[in-house]
Amino acid sequence: MNCTACKKGVLSPAYLDVMLPSHACNECGGVFLRMIDYFRWQEDNENIDLVANPPVGIHAEETSTAILCPKTGVLMTKYRISKDTEHRLDFSAAANAVWMDKGEWELLKTAGLATRLNNLFTSHWQHDIHAQESSEVMRELYARRFGEHYAALSEFRAVLDAMDDKHEAIAYLMAEDPYKP
């Protein structure tokens, strides 16, 4: 197979991790991994702890343009890894395989996601990333709006949330003069 990411290299059989067969590009270092191989590897390494020894100083590449599946020639779909990184994996439904740029497997390991690769390609996972990002945007908006009072306000919000008679407490706060009978 020819590499569809760098369009220069050739993909040849290589081990992505201990006993995890894949195809790697001799030019860009990208990796084409079939999910069937991944699932087999996952089954055989049920208790593997990939997070225990995260590699240091990872630099992961990122192909931002759309790439074609090296096996089927069909356009691959990009999936975000998490809200903490802009890295996206390319998935080919036609070949049921994933394309990872150089370093992205290590990135997954560090993020504790190497054993949950298949989860990333679900709409549920992608939706969660989106929801988390939206909440963060809201948090930033409030922080800017309330400035120096934001910390105290959000702390007090947590106090209110924990109260059974929260509405009574809010009424007390809202009243012009709550001590006036």
Q: Where does this chain bind Zn ion (CB under 5 A)?
A: 3, 5-6, 9, 25, 27-28, 30
Closest to Zn ion by CB, 28 or 169: 28
Q: What minimum distance in Å lies between the beta carbon of 29 and Zn ion? A: 7
Closest to Zn ion by CB, 10 or 152: 10
What is the per-residue burial (b if ≥16 Cβ within 10 Å, else e) of 88-109? bbbbbeebebbbbbbbbbbbbb
Q: What minimum distance in Å lies between the beta carbon of 99 and Zn ion? A: 10
Q: What minimum distance in Å lies between the beta carbon of 100 and Zn ion? A: 11
Closest to Zn ion by CB, 30 or 50: 30
Q: What minimum distance in Å lies between the beta carbon of 3 and Zn ion? A: 3
- Beta 20-25 vs 31-34: how paired, if at all? antiparallel
Closest to Zn ion by CB, 6 or 107: 6
